[in-house]
Structure 1
Amino acid sequence: MNQSPPRIAPIGVVSVLVFLFFLVSFGNARDVPAFGPDTAPISSSENGFFPASPAYAASPPIVKAIIVERRHHFHKELLVAIILTSIAIAMIILSTTCAWILWRKSHENPYLKDKQSSEIAPRGITLAPILSKFNSFKMVRKGLVAMFEYSSLESSTNKFCESNLLGVGGFGCVYKAEFEGGLLGAVKKLAGGSVDCEREFENELDLLGRIRHPNIISLLGYCLHEETRLIVYELMEKGSLDTQLHGPSHGSALSWHIRMKIALDTARGLEYLHEHCNPPIIHRDLKSSNILLDSDFHAKISDFGLAVVGGNQNKATLKLSGTLGYVAPEYLLDGKLTEKSDVYAFGVVLLELLMGRKPVEKMAPSQCQSIVTWAMPQLTDRSKLPSIIDPVIRNTMDPKHLYQVAAVAVLCVQPEPSYRPLITDVLHSLVPLVPIELGGTLRLADQSPRKIERNATH
């Protein structure tokens, strides 16, 4: 391809015109007589100016003064012309250099650019280079989310076999995936087609593609296959808090300190969303099934399909969504959504950890009772509080710590949002109750880290 030479910028053209103007002006000044038609001409020699005829000697003194003055004026004009000419030349050189640099940048190798753009374009990629970085969670970089091939996800989940099913959500199922090299992941398969499903899919990709925090689930990639939408996450080996508390084990693997660690991890994740994201993020669907646990019971918040970015929301601009038992009263009744709505849901999770009960339980075929309504009268009574604690952890904690956690839970589930604490205040209240070995500041004189770990697994 032929490339045209650089063109002088408009400022260079102007500079040339200015330069020519001053040259012409200077030439005209040299041609004009110094004194008019009746004045004798002045010639020059190497010794300076002198009269060309004897008439000059006979000139009166005032004529001589005029001659000297006009000679100085001529020198000044010459100096100004030289200065302006130098400036014009400098401007020509500068503008030409700038035009050349711009031309070089605009005519870089187009084939290289096309190659680079094609490398970062969204397309299916093989799993090996992505999953090789599974442990460092660097799958998502600079806002770019990896796109997986459907055939790869299908083979890694054994064609989405029921034996690989990890959980069921509102819009689809989550499957365990084993990739080449033995690396594990979790694949959420959404049954696409509905507007709500599509919105949640895009919302989760957008938010998790930008969020980086130890207590927020890591997004590894996604896949589009006809009407189906799939999202790939890191695998959390212990499943959800809901499964641990209300599943077959009924919380037997969760000691008091492990439960406090889970609460602390969740509070840290919420604090990041509320205080460190700009604008803040309201999760809007915090619950025990959306708190996932790894092999060390390290908790991470998941499922950001309903999350909202921004400040206060109202029902005029936001569709009412959430899970019964976790939805704050002001949001349920008036549609008012703030960060305090997440604090309410956190308080419900804290009550689950304390009592081992579900957020809503059936009292009769047509009657349900929430854990908040049932527990509130007893949480504030120190004589009754120990009796409603989960039998798995009853009498295994310092009573002062139990009363403190109960007080935090009571504040979090207050009907009036202004009475609820900020999640940062909740976080500071929980840190002293968690052993140092588990991420808090509590020093245990009678328990070693090994004993704490043993209590968490038995």
Structure 2
Amino acid sequence: MAMTPSRVIFFPCFLVIILINHTIAQERFLYNVCNDNLGNYTANSTYKTNLNTLLSTLSSNTQIDYGFYNFSQGQDSDKVNGIGMCRGDVTPDACRSCLNESTVFLTQNCPNQKEAIVWYDNCMLRYSNRSIFGVKESNPTFYIYALSNATDMDQFNDVLRDLVDNLSSKAASGDSFKKYAAGSAQGPSFQTIFALLQCTPDLSEQECSDCLVESINDISSCCAGRINGRIGKPSCNLRFDTSPFYDSTVNTAQPPAPQVPPPPFTNTTSTQGKSNTTTIVVAVVVPVVVIAVLIILVCIFLRARKQRENIDTDTELDSEIEPVETLQFNFENIRMATNNFSDANMLGKGGFGPVYKGKLSNGEEIAVKRLSMNSGQGDTEFKNEVQLVAKLQHRNLVRLFGFCLEKRERLLVYEFVPNKSLDYFIFDPIKRVHLDWERRYKIIGGIAKGLLYLHEDSRLRIIHRDLKASNILLDAEMNPKISDFGMARLFVLDQTQGDTSRIVGTYGYMAPEYVTQGKFSVKSDVFSFGVLALEIVCGQKNSGFRNGEHVEDLISFAWKSWKDGTATNLIDPAINNGSRNEIMRCIHIGLLCVQENLADRPTMASVVLMLNSYSTTLPVPSEPAFFMQSRGMSDIQSWEYNSKATESTKSVKAYSSEVLVIGNYPR
């Protein structure tokens, strides 16, 4: 049917909005993973050459016209397998542009990993040295969802479930070029729910269906009742929203309209023809215009109401986040794995309880923390907390596998990190020789990235409150992993910042405002990081820094040396061969982090930038806090002060429209 003038006048505003949104979405990066589990390649290796060849063929490969690309390059152990897939509604040019951007991103951000994956709004690109074609893979998984809830969550969930169930079967039944479906359904309160589901077309119909069913089931654990959400997996993805986000003209969810044969030719007069044409125009245009106006009014109303909503990221715990059985370990299995919690298996003991090494029946090594029995937290609350903390996954955080409850026993099961903790090396005059400057600089940078994730990028926005050398574990390649990052949360819920009379931490690492007033924030962790960075540079403890025959605290000595221009006296003789500029820069950053006024301390985002960019000019530090020395707090011990009568916490709200939760490759 020809478009009438009235429609031509009315719809350009819609087209402009759609095109603008589409352009913005095309540039939107979502998430990526550089997988270290399958090994790394060197710059001049055959694998690197094969990878470059594979990625360079993306732009010219004709498969991209169908939105899917799979190709292999090389042989045997140097063989690289690649998969690229674009969203089912994007044009070939937009697809090509997105995949080209993905190749640049992965080569820059995963410079030597043999397996990597990146998601953009319009495409996904992955490569690996293992077979990935025709294989359904569910990990890594990421979730992105709005913090706003639907007005009628139960009805919204019911409509959404029916919609995605219907679309999943249509997507799975697609051909070897495209397994994609998109569609909409009318939800509560005049909301239209739009959804899109897609699989890599190298999967069979059953494999695609299984992957999409997993994604649909994940909705209940991440984003049930939210006004939008998306779930991304290597083999499939799912997205829903109350605003249109796909090109409906490419929508495969609805079958094409049947072709109606034209009526037989009838000889009519010119007047009759004009009359019939006018009738058709009126009959078609008027309803379309009325419906379009109504849609615009509804959209304006909903947008205005949404802008008035106060988005609160301090979300409540939900016992239905995911099936708890997926995280719960059998107590008898843990007891056998740790040889009945024998002293021989004990790795150490901290303020929250002892830690034991264990080995499961499948041979996997674990670390088990046996929590003290005085937390006063109920089983349901404990389970919910563990479920949330287990979602924190970053290469510089120790991964929490799950938990175990048995009567009063509460166990946390972590990944086992073989090289013990940083203090085992850095404070030992013999072992610290094994930590040259390159390794120490890598450790400082890794700790900074882990803290940045906890402060700004994780769902929980956790403040560690006990960052110290003994809580930094080292893996087989001496990469740092922050541990105990969820312990304070498991006992007393943390806020983004606040004040409390329940002080948990370690003297010498705690910020002055935390010790004296009970005030904590992300800047409390920044202070602890500054102390830790200075310790790594000098190889001595903050409390017992030895300067010849004199013993004083490290922060005061560092400041005096910096002020007098003799900061090189801080440097551990074992790293004298390291980069002097990097070492002095780390001392400078450490002093900035231990400023007495928390407003003068940088954020961890700034610290990471300072460590990675030498073009960034560092501010001049002022005199740091010397409260440890003035109060005689030289004995570094974990401690806790409780005062139930005066304990208070203050929640501080943060504002954001979306939350990203990620899942990493399985071990």
Do both share a fold (TM > 0.5)? yes
Corresponding position of 1:314: 499
Query: Is residue 463 of structure 2 the alignment partner of residue 282 of structure 1?
Result: yes
- After TM superposition, the structure 1 = structure 2 runs for residues 117-156 of structure 1, keeping only pairs within 5 Å, are 142=322, 144=324, 146-156=327-337
Partners of 2:437 and 2:579 within 8 A in 1: no
Judging by fraction of residues, say which structure has more strand: 2
Structure 1 residue runs of 5 or longer lacking an equivalent are: 1-100, 106-116, 121-140, 434-458
Deviation at 1:409, TM superposition (A): 0.6
Task: Number of aligned residue pairs: give it.
Answer: 291
Tell me what 1:157 maps to. 338
- The alpha carbon displacement at 1:252 in A equals 2.0
By how many angstroms is 1:337 displaced?
1.1
C-alpha separation in 2, matches of 1:432 and 1:273: 22
Structure 1: which amino acid aligns with 2:502? K
Q: Deviations over 1:255-274 (max 9, x none)?
A: 10111111111111111111
SS at match of 2:544: strand
- Partners of 2:443 and 2:519 in 1: how far apart? 28
**Is 421-430 or 175-184 further displaced after alignment?**
175-184
Equivalence for 1:263: 444
Which residue in the other structure is 2:89 paired with?
none
Separation (CA, whole Å) in 2 of partners of 1:403 and 1:194? 43
Question: Displacement, 1:310?
Answer: 3.0
TM-score, length basis structure 2: 0.40
Out of 558, 561, 570, which is 1:388 matched to?
Answer: 570
1:216-268 per-position Cα deviation (integer Å, ceiling 9, x unaligned) = 21111111122221111001111111112124744122110111111111111
Pick the structure with more helix per residue: 1
Alignment counterpart, residue 219 of structure 1, candidates 389, 395, 400: 400
Residue 343 of structure 1, aligned match among 526, 533, 536: 526
Q: CA deviation at 1:353?
A: 0.3
Question: Which amino acid in the other structure matches residue 544 of structure 2?
Answer: E
Deviation at 1:370, TM superposition (A): 3.1
Is 1:267–1:423's contact at 8 Å kept on the other side of the alignment?
yes
CA distance in 2, matches of 1:179, 1:143: 22
Supply the distance in 2 between the matched residues of 1:404 and 1:263 (Cα, whole angstroms): 12
Q: Which residue of 1 aligns with 2:537?
A: 354
One-letter code of the match for 1:377? K
Deviation per CA, 1:398-419: give whole Å up to 9, x if none.
Answer: 2222221111011001111011
1:431 corresponds to: 612
TM-superposed CA distance for 1:357, in Å, is 1.0
Structure of larger gyration radius: 1
Contact kept? 1:380, 1:407, Cα under 8 Å: no
From 355, 371, 380, the counterpart of 1:174: 355
Question: Structure 2 vs 1, CA of residues 200 and 247 (structure 1 numbering), >3 Å: closer, same or farther?
Answer: farther
| Cα offset, 1:325, TM superposition | 0.6
Mark the CA change 1:224 to 1:253 in structure 2 (over 3 Å): closer, same or farther. same
Structure 2: 5+ residue runs without aligned partners? 1-157, 163-216, 221-320, 615-667
2 CA distance for matches of 1:412 and 1:402? 15
TM-score, normalised on structure 1?
0.58
Match of 2:506 among 323, 338, 341: 323
User: Matched residues in 2 for 1:200 and 1:320: separation?
Assistant: 22
SS in 1 for 2:341: coil
Q: CA RMSD in A?
A: 3.2
* Counterpart-to-counterpart distance in 1, 2:567 and 2:505: 29
The Cα shift of 1:283 comes to 1.1
On the 8 A contact 1:286/1:326 being kept in 2, the answer is yes
Report the residue type matching 2:529 in the other structure.
F
Q: How far 1:362 moved relative to its partner?
A: 8.7
Q: Which amino acid aligns with 2:497?
A: N
Matched residues in 1 for 2:443 and 2:386: separation? 25
Amino acid in the other structure paired with 1:397: G
Which of residues 404, 410, 413 in structure 1 aligns to 2:594? 413
- Is 2:359–2:365's contact at 8 Å kept on the other side of the alignment? yes
Percentage of identical aligned residues: 36
- How much does 1:203 deviate? 8.6
Contact persistence 2:561–2:569 (CA under 8 A): no
Match of 1:123 in 2: none
Match of 1:396, SS state, is: coil
- Secondary structure in 2 aligned to 1:210? coil
Q: Cα offset for 1:351?
A: 0.9
CA distance in 2 between counterparts of 1:230 and 1:341 reads 28
Q: CA offsets per residue over residues 337-393 of structure 1, 9 Å max, x none?
A: 111111000001101101111122299xxx9843212322113444x2222212221
Q: Is the 8 A contact 2:446 2:480 kept in 1?
A: yes
